[in-house]
Amino acid sequence: MTDILTHKENGVLTISFNRPEKKNAITAAMYQTMADALRDAEIDASVRAILITGKPEIFTAGNDLDDFMKNAGSLAKIDSVPPVYQFMQALNDSGKPVIAAVSGAAVGIGTTLLMHCDLIYLADNAKLSMPFTQLGLCPEFASSLVFQQIVGYQRAAEKLMLGEAFSAQEAFDMGFVNKVLPLEELLPYAQQVAAKIVALPAASIRTTKRLMKGAQPQAIVTKMAEENQYFAAMLNAPEAKEAFMAFFQKRKPDFSQFN
Distance from C-alpha of 104 to C-alpha of 93, rounded to nearest angstrom:
27
Non-local (6+) Cβ contacts of 178 within 8 A are 119, 120, 121, 172
pLDDT of residue 129: 98
pLDDT digits (tens, 9 = 90+) for 80-134: 689 999 999 999 999 999 999 999 999 999 999 999 999 999 999 999 999 999 9
> What average pLDDT does range 191-202 have in this prediction?
98
> What average pLDDT does range 202-218 have in this prediction?
91
The full length of the chain comes to 259
pTM for the model:
0.93
pLDDT of residue 65: 84
Q: Are 38 and 87 in contact (CB under 8 A)?
A: yes
On the question of pLDDT at 139 being above 90, the answer is yes
On the question of pLDDT at 1 being above 70, the answer is no
Give the mean pLDDT of the chain.
94
Which domains are present in the chain?
4-183 (3.90.226.10)
Phi, psi of 129 (to 5 degrees): -160, 150
Distance from C-alpha of 213 to C-alpha of 10, rounded to nearest angstrom:
26
pLDDT digits (tens, 9 = 90+) for 28-79: 999 999 999 999 999 999 999 999 999 999 999 999 988 887 776 665 555 5
Task: Give the sheet arrangement for strand 127-129, strand by strand.
Answer: 58-60, 105-107, 127-129, 166-167
pLDDT of residue 77: 53
Phi, psi of 212 (to 5 degrees): -70, -40
